[in-house]
Amino acid sequence: MMSFVSARIGYRYSKTKISSSFIALINFFSVLGLCLGVAALIVVLSVMNGLEDQLKQRILGVVPHIVITQPLLNPVINQLKPELQDSIIATMPFIERQALVQSAQDLSGVSLQGVEPDTMQHYSSLNDHFVFNDLAVLVPKQYNVVIGYALARKLNVQVGDTMRLILPSSSRFTPLGRVPTQRNVTVGGIFNLQSVEDSQTIFMHIDDVHRLARIKYSPSQPQTSDSTRWFISDPFAYAELSAALNALSIPHTTWRERQGPLFDAVKMEKNMMSLMLLLVIAVAAFNIISALVMVVIEKTPDIAILRTQGLTAWQIMQIFMFNGLFNGIKGAGAGVVLGVILVYGLNPLLILLDVPLALSGDGQPVPVLLQWYNVLWIMGVSLLLCVLATLPPALKALRLQPAQSLKYE
């Protein structure tokens, strides 16, 4: 059982003024190191969380969550468990082909996706990231395409310009032999996701893509489409749905096969940064050992007197454990306050300091997302490390003998 007397004495020891002793100076710097370590970890995790959230919104809001790579009838969906059916918020006929786009300036390989504009507007976030026009420009038989901002810059094209679209997988016979299907298309809109999709993906109405790919398709019969795209409520819950499709022997692909390595890289970087900063916090926390050992040496007569007054060895040990805990609370608490302030003021601070890497090329701020459960576990781990750091000096105080300590006093 923790002693109130031990806690009170430990609190008094932790309030030692800096001017009173060299020990207090060491104690101050250990608390300061803990504060800066906690603040740095909160800021870094918030930036990494912001980046991860931005990737989810910009990439997972656009890339297909699950694509059934064969014509699929609705009764097949009905074979899934009810909870899995509920996770599918929409389905859409879909076709995807590798293609080449050529302008007067350059040539680039892209992924051509045939989509239903109305469905995409309701269930994807693509329309939120258009620079010019939107998906409504995709009208059947007009052969309009919407492309990414990065691709538009590379090809040096604008809305209304014409490009040549070439499908190597489809071909037609001519007097000169077999040549890939190609057609002039018009740039109808430009989007900016600030991701790799900007330079690799273009969208066209599904009717036009089927026509170019020479696949018979009827809008009134979606099952005649080359494949089917599923929108699911939580893209990260794809695994169970994918397992159910495998059990039904339905060929499919998931977003993990397209963008999984990117999210894995972000997650690994986040974990490694967290580990490195936790080590900084650990070093700061274990600096408390040095301060407490010196406190134990300085307070040896006090310890002996307290023992003669009736305090048990366990209560003496608690005094220094509370001393370290209170220092940890001060350091971690100040670090949390400083970290939260820096998170909310990070972009204004970077602008004020004129840091050129603070903003992306188009002026977007550094993404930050403060998650309070991260703050709580950082605080908890910091305090735990502080308590563990108190054990060696506290055990040293535990072994002191009152008579021996007072012998030369």
Domain spans of the chain, in order of start: 4-56+263-406, 70-250
- Listed in sequence order, the residues at least 6 apart from 191 whose beta carbon sits closer than 8 Å to its beta carbon are 126, 129, 130, 131, 146, 147, 148, 149, 198
The per-residue DSSP string of 327-383 comes to HHHHHHHHHHHHHHHHHHTHHHHHHHTT-GGGS-TT-PPPP----HHHHHHHHHHHH
pLDDT tens for each residue of 367-377: 888 889 889 99
pLDDT at 361 over 80: no
- In sequence order, the β-bridge partners of residue 91 are 230
pLDDT of residue 404: 59
Q: What is the 8-class DSSP label of residue 225? A: S
Which is higher by pLDDT, 189 or 351? 189
pLDDT of residue 154: 92
Question: Angle of helix 255-298 relative to helix 300-308, nearest 10 degrees?
Answer: 80
pLDDT tens for each residue of 35-67: 998 999 999 999 888 888 888 888 888 888 998
Which is higher by pLDDT, 32 or 57? 32
pLDDT at 246 over 80: yes
Spell out a b/e string for 183-193, using b for 16 or more CB atoms within 10 Å of the CB, else e: eebebbbbbbb
pLDDT tens for each residue of 302-321: 777 777 777 777 777 787 78
Q: How confident is the model over 20-38, as a mean pLDDT?
A: 80
In terms of average pLDDT, the best of 106-115, 208-217, 291-300 is 106-115
pLDDT at 359 over 70: no
pLDDT at 286 over 80: no
d(CA 368, CA 48): 7
pLDDT at 203 over 90: yes
DSSP H helices, 90-176, are 117-123, 149-155
Quick check: 202 and 154 in contact, CB under 8 A? no
pLDDT at 198 over 70: yes
Phi-psi region of 156 (alpha: psi -120 to 50; beta: other; left: phi over 0): left
pLDDT at 362 over 60: no
- In sequence order, the β-bridge partners of residue 132 are 190
Q: What predicted TM-score, i.e. pTM, was given to this entire model?
A: 0.76
d(CA 245, CA 247): 5
Least confident of 3-7, 235-239, 380-384: 3-7
pLDDT of residue 338: 94
pLDDT tens for each residue of 159-179: 999 999 998 887 776 666 677
3-state secondary structure of 8: helix
Here the tokens at position 122 are 């309701």
Reported for 171-177, long-range contacts at CB under 8 A and 24+ positions apart, including other chains, are 172/214
pLDDT of residue 99: 92
Residue count (the chain): 409
Q: For residue 356, name the pLDDT band (cuts at 50, 70, 90).
A: low
CA dist list (Å): 227 to 78, 92, 192, 336: 18, 9, 26, 50
pLDDT at 224 over 80: no
pLDDT tens for each residue of 251-261: 888 988 888 88
Which is higher by pLDDT, 286 or 35? 35
pLDDT at 18 over 50: no
pLDDT at 20 over 60: no
pLDDT of residue 409: 53
Which amino acid belongs to residue 385? L
pLDDT tens for each residue of 81-98: 888 888 888 888 888 999
Mean pLDDT of the chain: 82
pLDDT of residue 149: 92
Which is higher by pLDDT, 400 or 183? 183
pLDDT of residue 177: 62
- In sequence order, the β-bridge partners of residue 187 are 145
pLDDT of residue 170: 78
pLDDT of residue 157: 93
